[in-house]
Amino acid sequence: MLRVGLTGGIGSGKSAVAARLVELGAVLIDADRVAREVVAPGSEGLAEIVAAFSDRVLDADGALDRAALGAVVFADEAARRRLEAITHPRVRARTAELMAAAAPDAIVVNDVPLLVEVGLAPTYHLVVVVQTAVATRLDRLTRLRGMDRVEAERRIAAQADDARRRAAADVVLTNDASLGALHAAVDALWRRRLQPYEHNLRERRV
Ligand code: ATP
């Protein structure tokens, strides 16, 4: 199996790259999705969060109220660490489970927004960083996603910058032009760096 870590700032185009890689044959593990799954209603993770932060972090349906939880851990370092001690090991375990379920010759792409911040780069065979100018990301987040501009700026400021992400990258995909241009770059990455691996793995049956 080839483990590919995919990251980039908010609104850089990670999902667009991931979707193209899936079309080409990769198996996707979306860290945001796994993070939601491990705190879904009825999960052990959610029970632990309620034990730690009380049921004021639940909404009327008993699901996790992310805004309420965010307000509790925002600007409270100890609370944030307590939350991460509950969620991170569960996300890691579930990701390992999903990886183990993939075929031995699979190319598994793990889309992890905070891959660099959390120090996960060494756990992948290849780290792909999507890099997009901040102005373009702000434009896409506000225009296409309806995100509030101040909120988008705040989120961008809370993440690592592109220079830090680039330092951890094996491959940098720049997404400042059209989606067609991004797809062409992903196709080239697949042909040159990923597909040869798949063939090798198949031939060696490892
Ligand atoms: P997040 O960090 O929030 O998960 P992301 O990095 O996954 O974001 P995407 O959702 O892939 O980013 O892209 C953000 C928005 O910009 C989406 O609406 C997407 O369709 C659009 N987009 C991505 N790349 C391009 C492009 N080259 N041209 C035009 N729109 C694009």
| Domain-ending residue, one of 105, 127, 158 | 105
Which two structure tokens, joined as six digits, stand for 141? Answer: 């987040």
Q: How many domains does the chain have?
A: 2
Taking each helix axis as running N to C, give the angle between helix 44-53 and helix 66-73, from 0 to 180 degrees, rounded to the nearest 10: 50
pLDDT, tens only, 147-159: 999 999 999 999 9
What does the alpha-carbon distance between residue 59 and residue 77 come to, in Å, rounded to a whole number?
23
- Give the structural domain span for 198: 1-26+106-206
Query: Looking at the structure, do residues 111 and 15 belong to the same domain, yes or no?
Result: yes
Residues tagged in the binding site annotation for ATP: 11-16
Q: Can you spell out the DSSP letters for 119-136? A: T-GGGSSEEEEEE--HHH
| Domain-ending residue, one of 63, 85, 105 | 105
Element (H, E) at 64: none
Instruction: Give the pocket of ligand 1 (CB within 6 Å).
Output: 8, 10-16, 113, 140, 144-145, 175, 178-179, 182
pLDDT band at 196 (very low <50, low <70, confident <90, very high): confident
- Candidate from 6, 14, 109, 176 with most ligand 1 atoms within 8 A of CB, to mutate: 14
Closest residue CA from atom 23 of ligand 1? 13
pLDDT, tens only, 35-72: 999 999 999 999 999 999 999 999 999 999 999 999 99
Instruction: Give the residue from 13, 20, 15, 59 showing the smallest Cα distance to 33.
Output: 15
Q: How much distance in Å is there from the Cα of 11 to the middle of ligand 1?
A: 5
Q: Residue 121: give its domain's CATH number.
A: 3.40.50.300
Q: What is the ipTM score, two decimals?
A: 0.97
Query: Cα separations (Å) of 38 from 102, 143, 164, 199, 206?
Result: 19, 31, 29, 34, 31
- Candidate from 128, 144, 182, 186 with most ligand 1 atoms within 8 A of CB, to mutate: 144
Closest residue CA from atom 2 of ligand 1? 10
Instruction: Look at the pTM and tell me if it is higher than 0.90.
Output: yes
Q: Closest ligand 1 atom to the C-alpha of 179?
A: 27
- Check pLDDT > 60 for residue 206: no
